[in-house]
């Protein structure tokens, strides 16, 4: 239930100079005002950004708007700020598309930025036009200040990260225009980032790995017959027996470089048994009892193990017919380092019935982990400390997938961290919003972060 409550008053952090605070808000309002859902595409938003950076003094050849010829509305814009060439370029990525809205469910117009009760409301404020506005304003500010980075800074604002995905901009740019986006490191500002809990900034998450998305299908078949003459063999019973075995099964707890660092860092912010348990799983071989206690929380469970869950089921062909077939979709999220073949073998073993046919639903790309190096975490901390002194930065693994997968597949390390502190996530939901204070301060943090990260 949505309850009208006054906005949080966080302890104040540093803000950008007034000119750039206003600019970031104007860009956010402009981007929210452009409907970039899958049906409309992101070309309009890409063109708006192109016009802004050209007006801000970027050379024509350093600003490219690109779309796949067969998806002309799925526009991307790539901007380059030239540096001294002391290191490979630094690439920032942010998507311009937003998920669909149900306007009747909203209390404001989703495609108009509305400031109310200390929040900015509008589709994309959190996911992720807020971060796009922060990055773009930082780039324009650096240009206008005459800042020359150690290495080129490239920003790519891209298409089709959300629902649809037939013209993903990051995938398209890496495949078709790699010269424009080739870099030594990719920083994605979609998701992860600052968390607010009990009215306080707790930590800034930096995602260095993500679970692998893999879908399997279970199916059973039977000769059927009339429902007046049932037999023990039954395609629906055979399938549901397999699903019951899956329901009772739990993949073993396992850790990665990222999750060990995450649990160790998080333990310092917690107390009592929870703290002890977090420390006990922050090891190469996690403590089983501690893992079992922590796994009662679905989010920690997802970090501790591969998961597979039934999400769809259908079967039978008529009310009075014994079923000829039954079928279920099993959605799995694999820990980095685990292969779809291993998961297939595990599922086959768990089901233990050759009558249940198990298949993989399409090819699955691996998503290699980017190591959470102390040097990179120190850079995030350094930038954050300039805005919120005493900031805590923690590496994270995402249970879902992001555009960082394309960078990691191309062999480029990728870190993912939003610039905006989030209190209660409403990404993809109605009445999506961000705290105005968090957005304004993100303007300063984004600027500092781009600067710090661009050092060789």
Select 83 or 164, whichever has its Cβ closest to Zn ion: 164
How many residues lie near Zn ion (CB under 5 A)?
3
156 vs 328, beta carbon nearer Zn ion:
156
CA 160, chain centre distance (Å): 13
User: Least distance in Å: CB of 448 to Zn ion?
Assistant: 23
Region from 124-132, 174-182, 270-278, 404-412 binding Zn ion, contact rule CB under 5 A: 124-132
Tokens read off for 213: 């998305």
Q: How far is the CB of 31 from Zn ion (least distance, A)?
A: 13
Please compute, for residue 74, the number of CA atoms within 13 A of its CA located in the half-sphere on the CB side: 21
Is 160 among the residues that bind Zn ion (CB under 5 A)? no
Interaction between residue 128 and Zn ion (CB under 5 A): yes
Q: Which helix (H) or strand (E) holds 131?
A: helix 129-144
CA angle, corner 208, sides to 206 and 211, nearest 5?
A: 120
Q: Residue 190 or 238: which CB sits closer to Zn ion?
A: 190
Nearest of 134, 226, 126, 12 to residue 429 by alpha carbon: 126
Can you point out the beta strands (E) in 281-400?
307-315, 321-322, 325-334, 357-360, 393-398
- Taking the C-alpha atoms of residue 160 and residue 99, their distance in angstroms, rounded to an integer, is 10
* 126 is an interface residue for Zn ion by CB under 5 A: no
**Rounded to the nearest whole angstrom, what is the least distance from the CB of residue 55 to Zn ion in the complex?**
27
Nearer to Zn ion, 190 or 432 (CB): 190
Q: Which is nearer to Zn ion, 130 or 395 (by Cβ)?
A: 130
Stretch that binds Zn ion, among 11-19, 120-128, 241-249, 320-328 (CB under 5 A): 120-128
Select from 4-12, 190-198, 199-207, 354-362 the region that touches Zn ion (CB under 5 A): 190-198
Q: Which residues pair with 64 in a beta bridge?
A: 78
Instruction: Pick between residue 281 and residue 416 the one whose CB is nearest to Zn ion.
Output: 416
Contact 328/237 with Cβ under 8 angstroms? no
Contact at 8 Å (CB) between 203 and 394?
yes
Q: Considering the rule CB under 5 A, would residue 132 count as an interface residue with Zn ion?
A: no
Which strands, in side-by-side order, build the sheet including 212-221? 307-315, 325-334, 212-221, 357-360
Establish if 127 lies at the interface with Zn ion (CB under 5 A).
yes
Nearest CA among 2, 8, 4, 3 for reference residue 118: 8
What is the per-residue binding string for Zn ion in 391-420, x denoting contact by CB under 5 A?
------------------------------
Query: Residue 418 CB, nearest distance to Zn ion (Å)?
Result: 9
Distance from chain centroid for Cα 53: 26
Q: How many residues does the chain have?
A: 456
Part of the chain binding Zn ion (CB under 5 A), chosen from 73-81, 121-129, 141-149, 195-203: 121-129
Q: How far is the CB of 128 from Zn ion (least distance, A)?
A: 5
Give least dist CB 366 to Zn ion, A: 22
Interatomic CA distance for residues 234 and 213, integer angstroms: 31
Judged by CB under 5 A, the residue of 50, 190, 238, 431 near Zn ion is 190
Residues of this chain, 416-445, that bind Zn ion according to CB under 5 A: none
Q: How far is the CB of 262 from Zn ion (least distance, A)?
A: 21
Rounded distance between C-alpha atoms, residue 136 and residue 255, angstroms: 36
Taking the complex as a whole, the smallest distance from the CB of residue 456 to Zn ion amounts, in Å, to 30
Nearest-5° angle of CA 201, CA 130, CA 35? 145
- Closer residue to Zn ion (CB): 152 or 210: 210
Quote the CA–CA distance of 103 and 122 in Å, as a whole number: 11
Write out the binding residues for Zn ion, residues 16-35 only, by CB under 5 A: none
Shortest CB 282 distance to Zn ion, Å = 29
Q: How far is the CB of 177 from Zn ion (least distance, A)?
A: 22
- Which of 190/440 has CB closer to Zn ion? 190
Closest approach, Cβ 190 to Zn ion, in A, equals 4
> d(Cα 342, Cα 344) in Å, to the nearest integer?
5
Closer by beta carbon to Zn ion, 280 or else 398: 398
Do residues 112 and 51 make contact, with C-beta atoms less than 8 angstroms apart?
no
- Choose between 129 and 254: whose C-beta lies nearer to Zn ion: 129
Measured from the CB atom, the residue of 211 and 305 that comes closer to Zn ion is 211
How far apart are the C-alpha atoms of 41 and 213, rounded to whole Å? 25
Q: Which string of b and e fits 371-399 if b means at least 16 CB within 10 Å?
A: ebeeebbebbbbbbebbbeebbbbbbbbe
Contact residues toward Zn ion (CB under 5 A) are 127-128, 190
């Amino acid at each position: 239930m949505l309850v009208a409550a006054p906005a949080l008053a966080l302890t104040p952090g540093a803000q950008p100079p007034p000119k750039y605070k206003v600019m970031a808000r104007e860009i956010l309002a402009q981007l929210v005002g452009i409907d970039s859902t899958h049906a409309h595409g992101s070309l309009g938003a890409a063109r708006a950004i192109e016009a802004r950076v050209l007006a801000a003094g970027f050379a024509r050849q350093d600003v490219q708007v690109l779309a796949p010829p067969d998806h002309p509305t799925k526009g991307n814009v790539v901007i380059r700020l030239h540096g001294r060439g002391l290191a490979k370029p630094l690439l920032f990525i942010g998507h311009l598309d937003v998920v669909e809205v149900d306007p009747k469910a909203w209390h404001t117009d989703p495609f108009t930025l509305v400031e109310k009760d200390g929040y900015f409301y509008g589709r994309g404020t959190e996911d992720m036009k807020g971060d796009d506005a922060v990055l773009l304003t930082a780039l324009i500010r650096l240009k206008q200040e005459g800042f020359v980075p150690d290495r080129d800074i490239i920003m790519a604002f891209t298409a089709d990260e959300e629902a649809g995905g037939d013209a993903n901009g990051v995938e398209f740019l890496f495949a078709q225009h790699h010269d424009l986006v080739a870099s030594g490191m990719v920083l994605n500002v979609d998701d992860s980032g600052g968390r607010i809990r009990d009215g306080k900034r707790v930590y800034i998450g930096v995602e260095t790995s993500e679970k692998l998305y893999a879908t399997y299908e279970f199916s059973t078949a039977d000769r059927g017959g009339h429902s007046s003459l049932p037999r023990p063999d039954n395609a629906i019973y055979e399938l549901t027996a397999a699903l019951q075995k899956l329901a009772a099964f739990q993949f073993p707890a396992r850790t990665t470089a990222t999750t060990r660092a995450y649990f160790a860092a998080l333990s310092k912010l917690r107390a009592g048994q929870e703290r002890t348990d977090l420390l006990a799983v922050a090891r190469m071989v996690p403590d089983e009892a501690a893992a079992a206690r922590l796994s009662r929380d679905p989010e920690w469970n997802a970090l501790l193990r591969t998961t597979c869950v039934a999400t769809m089921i259908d079967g039978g062909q008529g009310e009075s017919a014994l079923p000829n077939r039954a079928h279920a979709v099993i959605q799995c999220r694999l820990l980095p380092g685990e292969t779809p073949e291993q998961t297939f073998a595990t599922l086959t073993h768990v089901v233990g019935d050759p009558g249940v046919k198990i298949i993989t639903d399409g090819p699955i790309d691996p998503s290699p982990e980017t190591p959470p190096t102390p040097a990179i975490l120190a850079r995030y901390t350094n930038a954050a400390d300039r805005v919120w002194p005493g900031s805590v930065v923690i590496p994270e693994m995402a249970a879902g997938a992001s555009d960082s997968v394309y960078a990691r597949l191309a062999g480029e390390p990728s870190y993912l961290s939003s610039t905006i502190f989030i209190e209660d996530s409403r990404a993809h939901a109605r009445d999506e919003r961000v705290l105005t204070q968090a957005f304004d301060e993100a303007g300063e943090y984004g600027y500092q972060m781009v600067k710090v990260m661009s050092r060789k």
